[in-house]
Amino acid sequence: MSHRPAKIDVATDPGASLPGAKRRKVAREKLAGAARSAGSLVKKGAVLAGDLNRDGKVDRQDARMAADKGKQLATATAAQAGKMGKKVLQHDMGKDAAAGAAIGALVAVPVPIVGPVAGAAVGAIAGVIKNVRSGKR
């Protein structure tokens, strides 16, 4: 499917030889038809993407299925992150990064633009740098 605008050929396009007002009306009608076609395609795409049980419509059952899948993924991700976190915290660098992240998050809470997530990231980086410079590894 091409995303280039259609070229109007004055010799073959009946609207091109019309007076200004009629030409604009023809152009409006063509644009309206194209918009309807695009809207129909978007609707079909949304149904295909959101119809998880393949019954031809997006409804509460699909939302419930999506929520259940989200819970499964979140649980699996949290379990994996917990396992990785235990391994990381067994090393001095991981401990320093975690301590720096905690301090950075607390310090950044009252700062309106930064926020706790960015503060935690900066704190974790500072903790790793401290660890590398002290030679603990």
- pLDDT tens digits, 59-112: 888 888 888 888 888 888 888 888 877 777 777 888 888 888 888 888 888 877
- Sort residue 135 into left (φ over 0), alpha (ψ -120 to 50) or beta: left
Instruction: Give percent above pLDDT 90 in the chain.
Output: 0
Please state whether the predicted TM-score (pTM) of the whole model is above 0.85.
no
The set of residues, in sequence order, having a beta carbon less than 8 Å from that of 50 and lying 6+ positions away, is 58, 62, 66
Six-digit token pair at 61? 């059952």
- Sort residue 61 into left (φ over 0), alpha (ψ -120 to 50) or beta: alpha
- pLDDT for position 31: 83
